[in-house]
């Protein structure tokens, strides 16, 4: 067992026996005292945004209620986090009830209850275990006192306390009230991994039945007596702002209560990292029903005008900085032209090993390729929505949000209402993917409710959401490789950039595996708002890198998996540099596993295979994708996936996340694209923005996990980035043409 100090204090541990019928209620807030997980990508956010805590109640009947603090948007933390607590508590899972905790800054003082960056389990692992182990220890001490025996002789199993020598036993419920009087232990023992009974076993989604039976769980389900429906109208193009609005016709339509303008952020407001908002001034339409509000919106007469270049102060995860927002109506065509120019010019050097210039000059062969990808819209199944009821200096909020603690500060500042007077109910989210880390729609809902003095549910149409921004950036990366006369890789160069950020991770593979290595980056300022999108930056650069490595392997006459393994062998045994942020042995491990499980090298007729591997969010993933051609069009037949994410808490749930990420990646690789003309998004709904269809999803996905005793790492995002490269490499085998520009098929292609 592992002995761990609890380092408790009054704010981090609350207990009471004031439950009906007696019992134990414990609130935990441990992570400020726990060992932090290794730093990695995680959107470069402060640690406290990812701290996890828990809250549990043990009733006198032995039933355990565990409140899951992190917002749930399909990653299954609402099941997996309580599993970790239940494991150390040593309770029977069938006696556990899981509830979603609402946002509570006092109860959960070490966390903003943030879901993002694939960091929920990774950051919460030790603290959640400590929560369960501490409660178990207090129950043991209560039993020892009651039976007048040494606490070391008390054992537990499935929610029962036992003393073997005396033959005495009691359920947790019988000792819960007495345990509430026990002083909090200063240290507790955690289980050995080999003794896990719940962790590592598959447990059904605790919300599964509610989801399939349509019970109200999501933000769009929220209802309250007297609630009105609100919608917004924002500028039709980025780079524009509201000039004037004629609202008379809309106000006179049936069921409409009011139409007015709102300004979500004041001009001098110091924005936080997630206060991204391209359209802070817009028109609000409020009425009795969705249909009536939608009709009134069509009757609006608004004038929009271009805005001038301006700056704002943003106090984000990179520290406080002044950001310039350029004027102008941008277009995809002009973006591509500017990106092509910058790709040819010297850029900021972010890493340099050896003498790459000389190595390229002396190379027997130089391979150079440029890869590009467009903006992407998140397109969560559940459009943006939020409920708000502002009554005087009290604010009631409810809906889907990934970071309630972040937006609470903005709501407080904008409404001039103390944060302690703001309540946020966390509903289940119909998708997040980073989009719901940006809570401007919550501020909008609160301002509208305050203006009409009534409870309001703000609803975005699909067009509102798709044209509002917070896109995945548009990227470009140019790769060069130098080979000697024997086909050995002697130098590697990546130069990448985008609108408005670079996708380059200078210290990731193949950095550290090549003597002569150069990484450069550039960016283009833009007024089009971007933000986190499933595996930020990795979601592009992984596909480009892995496509290029396949092409280099072919030129070198190597098998693509063997070629990667040779590089990783060098990085493991004789690494170049000291800033390499990956473990070469674990990276090689997923490639070896996927080679075995996919039967690599035993190709079947008319089946075209592509391999890809990548490291992000502290996790290693490799894919082998099998593709067939039907009527001249590609179809993904099978994807074999190998993952090293440390200890797997809930195998079925982890496999589900991999399957979703793979399917999502295949769809975006083939079809995903948002384009602009004169600042206006050219795609506004699914009739023009092509998404993957059921018939186009991979026919089969096999997910394999590397057995591990390493603490859990990220899971929701890591399987997503490498699928782009696997698709591109399989497409090459099928068509004899390389894919350099996403999307590979475009809007109108239909698979067999």
Percentage helix, strand, coil for the chain under 3-state DSSP, each rounded to 5 = 30, 30, 40
Q: At what angle do helices 721-735 and 651-670 cross, to 10 degrees?
A: 50
Q: What is the pLDDT of residues 150-205, one digit of tens each?
A: 999 999 999 999 999 999 999 999 998 898 888 888 899 999 999 999 999 999 99
Rounded to an integer, what distance in angstroms lies between the CA atom of residue 50 and that of residue 452?
Answer: 36
Q: Kindly give the pairing relationship between strand 228-233 and strand 456-459.
A: parallel
Cα end-to-end distance, the chain, whole Å: 55
* Cβ contacts of 26 within 8 Å, gap of 6 or more: 13, 14, 15, 55, 56, 57, 131, 134, 135, 138
- Using DSSP's 3-state secondary structure scheme, residue 223 falls into coil
Q: Kindly give the pairing relationship between strand 319-325 and strand 310-316.
A: antiparallel
User: What is the dihedral sign for C-alpha 589, 120, 87, 145?
Assistant: positive
Q: Label residue 507 exposed, middle or buried (CB < 10 Å: 0-12, 13-18, 19+).
A: middle
Using the structure block, give the residue that is written with the tokens 């995680």. Answer: 42
pLDDT confidence tier of residue 20, bands split at 50, 70 and 90? very low
Q: Is the pLDDT of residue 39 over 70?
A: no
Give pLDDT, residue 23. 72
By the 8 A CB rule, do 238 and 469 touch?
Answer: yes
Rounded to an integer, what distance in angstroms lies between the CA atom of residue 135 and that of residue 4?
Answer: 14
Residue closest to 500 by CA, chosen among 276, 275, 684, 739? 276
Residue closest to 286 by CA, chosen among 66, 36, 457? 457
By the 8 A CB rule, do 235 and 445 touch?
Answer: no
- Using DSSP's 3-state secondary structure scheme, residue 116 falls into coil
- Both tokens of 302, joined, read 């608004």
Q: What is the pLDDT of residues 97-115, one digit of tens each?
A: 999 999 986 765 444 578 8
Mean predicted confidence (pLDDT) in 48-68: 67
Rounded to an integer, what distance in angstroms lies between the CA atom of residue 431 and that of residue 716?
Answer: 12
The CATH architecture assigned to 224-310+380-466 reads: 2-Layer Sandwich (3.30)
Distances (CA, A) of 278 to 435, 469, 697: 14, 7, 34
Rounded to an integer, what distance in angstroms lies between the CA atom of residue 521 and that of residue 503?
Answer: 8
Give pLDDT, residue 124. 85
Give the residue, 46 or 626, on which the prediction is more confident: 626
Q: Is the pLDDT of residue 81 over 70?
A: yes
Mean predicted confidence (pLDDT) in 510-534: 97
Give pLDDT, residue 7. 52
Give pLDDT, residue 55. 67
User: pTM here?
Assistant: 0.93
3-state DSSP of 307-342: CCCEEEEEEECCEEEEEEECCCCCCHHHHHHHHHHH
Rounded to an integer, what distance in angstroms lies between the CA atom of residue 92 and that of residue 62?
Answer: 10
Give pLDDT, residue 59. 85
Residues of the chain with CATH 3.30.365.10: 2-201, 224-310+380-466, 336-376+471-735
* Cβ contacts of 32 within 8 Å, gap of 6 or more: 12, 51, 110
Q: Is the pLDDT of residue 17 over 50?
A: no
CATH of domain 336-376+471-735: 3.30.365.10
Residue closest to 60 by CA, chosen among 15, 99, 25? 25
Mean predicted confidence (pLDDT) in 586-611: 97
Q: Is the pLDDT of residue 287 over 90?
A: yes
Q: Is the pLDDT of residue 34 over 50?
A: no
By the 8 A CB rule, do 415 and 381 touch?
Answer: no
Partners of 258 in the β-ladder: 286
By the 8 A CB rule, do 537 and 503 touch?
Answer: yes
Give pLDDT, residue 630. 93
Q: How many CB atoms lie within 10 A of CB 254?
A: 11
The single-letter DSSP state of residue 93 is G
Give pLDDT, residue 50. 23
pLDDT confidence tier of residue 54, bands split at 50, 70 and 90? low
298: left (phi over 0), alpha (psi -120 to 50) or beta: alpha
Give pLDDT, residue 24. 72
Rounded to an integer, what distance in angstroms lies between the CA atom of residue 386 and that of residue 445?
Answer: 6
Q: Is the pLDDT of residue 463 over 90?
A: yes
Rounded to an integer, what distance in angstroms lies between the CA atom of residue 192 and that of residue 176?
Answer: 25
Q: Is the pLDDT of residue 571 over 90?
A: yes
Strands across the sheet with 619-630, in order? 608-616, 619-630, 633-644, 700-705
The size of the chain, in residues, is 752
Mean predicted confidence (pLDDT) in 247-255: 97
Give pLDDT, residue 423. 96
Give pLDDT, residue 748. 53
Percentage of the chain beyond pLDDT 70 is 92
Distances (CA, A) of 254 to 283, 294, 319, 325, 647: 18, 11, 49, 40, 58
Residue closest to 521 by CA, chosen among 348, 353, 352, 336? 348
Rounded to an integer, what distance in angstroms lies between the CA atom of residue 298 and that of residue 305?
Answer: 19
Rounded to an integer, what distance in angstroms lies between the CA atom of residue 696 and that of residue 635?
Answer: 7
Give pLDDT, residue 551. 98
Backbone angles phi, psi at 617, to 5 degrees: 50, 35
Mean predicted confidence (pLDDT) in 732-737: 97
Mean predicted confidence (pLDDT) in 3-9: 61
* Cβ contacts of 739 within 8 Å, gap of 6 or more: 547, 727, 728, 731, 732
Mean predicted confidence (pLDDT) in 602-627: 97
pLDDT confidence tier of residue 391, bands split at 50, 70 and 90? very high
Mean predicted confidence (pLDDT) in 206-233: 96
- Using DSSP's 3-state secondary structure scheme, residue 21 falls into coil
Q: What is the pLDDT of residues 421-461, one digit of tens each?
A: 999 999 999 999 999 999 999 999 999 999 999 999 999 99
Residue closest to 712 by CA, chosen among 196, 207, 205, 204? 196
Q: Does domain 2-201 have CATH number 3.10.310.30?
A: no
Give pLDDT, residue 2. 74
Mean predicted confidence (pLDDT) in 400-415: 94
Percentage of the chain beyond pLDDT 90 is 82
Q: Is the pLDDT of residue 143 over 50?
A: yes
Using the structure block, give the residue that is written with the tokens 């995002």. Answer: 717
Mean predicted confidence (pLDDT) in 19-39: 50
By the 8 A CB rule, do 385 and 219 touch?
Answer: yes
* Cβ contacts of 276 within 8 Å, gap of 6 or more: 438, 440, 469, 470, 529, 530, 531
Peptide bond into 535 cis (omega under 30): no
């Amino acid at each position: 067992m592992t002995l761990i100090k609890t380092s408790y204090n009054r704010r981090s541990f609350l207990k009471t026996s004031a439950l009906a019928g007696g019992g134990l209620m414990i609130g935990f807030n441990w992570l400020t005292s726990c060992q932090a997980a290794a730093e990695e990508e995680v959107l470069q956010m402060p640690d406290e945004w990812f701290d996890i805590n828990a809250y549990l109640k043990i009733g006198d009947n032995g039933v355990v209620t565990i409140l899951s603090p992190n917002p749930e948007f399909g990653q299954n933390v609402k099941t997996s986090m309580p599993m970790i607590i239940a494991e150390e508590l040593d309770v029977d899972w069938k006696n556990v009830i899981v509830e979603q905790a609402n946002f509570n800054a006092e109860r959960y003082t070490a966390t903003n209850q943030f879901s993002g960056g694939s960091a929920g389990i990774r950051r919460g692992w030790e603290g959640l275990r400590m929560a369960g182990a501490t409660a178990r220890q207090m129950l043991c001490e209560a039993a020892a006192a009651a039976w007048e025996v040494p606490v070391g002789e008390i054992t537990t199993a499935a929610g029962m306390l036992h003393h073997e020598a005396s033959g005495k036993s009691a359920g947790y419920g019988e000792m819960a009230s007495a345990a509430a009087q026990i002083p909090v232990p200063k240290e507790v023992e955690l289980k050995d991994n080999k003794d896990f009974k719940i962790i590592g076993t598959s447990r059904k989604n605790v919300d599964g039945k509610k989801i399939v039976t349509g019970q109200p769980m999501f933000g769009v389900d929220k209802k309250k007596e007297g609630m009105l429906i609100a919608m917004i109208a924002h500028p039709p193009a980025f780079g524009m702002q509201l000039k004037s609005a004629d609202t008379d016709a809309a106000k006179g339509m049936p069921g409409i209560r009011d139409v007015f303008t709102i300004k979500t952020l004041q001009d001098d407001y110091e924005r936080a990292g997630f206060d991204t908002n391209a359209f802070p001034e817009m028109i609000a339409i409020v009425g009795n029903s969705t249909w009536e509000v939608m009709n009134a919106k069509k009757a609006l007469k608004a004038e929009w005008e271009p805005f001038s270049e301006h700056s704002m102060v943003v106090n984000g995860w990179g520290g406080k900085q002044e950001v310039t927002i350029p004027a102008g109506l941008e277009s995809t065509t002009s973006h591509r032209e500017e990106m092509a120019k910058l790709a040819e010019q010297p850029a900021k050097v972010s890493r340099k090993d050896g003498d790459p210039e000389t190595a390229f000059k002396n190379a027997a062969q130089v391979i150079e390729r440029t890869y590009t990808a467009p903006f992407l819209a998140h397109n969560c199944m559940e459009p943006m929505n939020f409920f708000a009821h502002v009554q005087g200096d009290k604010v009631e909020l409810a809906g889907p949000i990934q970071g309630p603690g972040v937006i609470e500060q903005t709501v407080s500042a904008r409404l001039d209402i103390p944060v302690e007077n703001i309540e946020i109910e966390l509903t289940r989210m119909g998708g997040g993917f980073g989009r719901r880390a940006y809570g401007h729609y919550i501020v909008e809902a609160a301002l509208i409710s305050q203006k009409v003095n009534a409870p309001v549910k703000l609803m975005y149409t699909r067009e509102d959401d798709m044209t509002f921004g917070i896109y995945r950036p548009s990227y470009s990366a140019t790769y060069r490789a130098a080979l000697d006369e024997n086909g050995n890789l002697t130098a590697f160069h990546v130069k990448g950039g985008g609108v408005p950020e670079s996708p380059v991770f200078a210290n990731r593979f193949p950095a550290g595996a090549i003597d002569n290595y150069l990484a450069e980056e550039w960016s283009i300022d833009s007024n089009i708002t971007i933000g986190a999108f499933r595996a930020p930056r990795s979601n592009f650069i992984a596909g480009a890198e892995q496509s290029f490595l396949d092409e280099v392997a072919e030129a070198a006459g190597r098998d693509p998996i063997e070629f990667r393994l040779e590089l990783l062998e060098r990085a493991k045994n004789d690494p170049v540099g000291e800033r390499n942020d990956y473990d070469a042995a674990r990276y090689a491990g997923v490639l070896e596993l996927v080679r075995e499980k996919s039967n690599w090298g035993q190709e079947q007729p008319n089946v075209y295979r592509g391999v890809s591997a990548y490291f992000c969010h502290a996790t290693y993933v490799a894919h082998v994708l099998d593709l067939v051609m039907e009527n001249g069009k590609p179809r993904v037949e099978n994807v074999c996936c190998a993952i090293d994410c440390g200890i797997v808490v809930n195998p079925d749930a982890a496999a589900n996340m991999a399957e979703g990420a793979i399917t999502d990646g295949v769809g975006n690789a083939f079809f995903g694209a948002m384009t602009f003309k004169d600042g206006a998004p050219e795609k506004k709904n699914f009739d023009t923005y092509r998404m993957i269809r059921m018939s186009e999803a991979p026919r089969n996905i096999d997910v394999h996990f590397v057995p591990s005793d390493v603490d859990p790492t990220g899971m929701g995002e890591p399987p997503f980035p490498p699928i782009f490269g696997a698709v591109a490499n399989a497409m090459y085998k099928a068509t004899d043409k390389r894919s350099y520009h996403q999307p590979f098929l475009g809007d109108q292609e239909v698979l067999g």
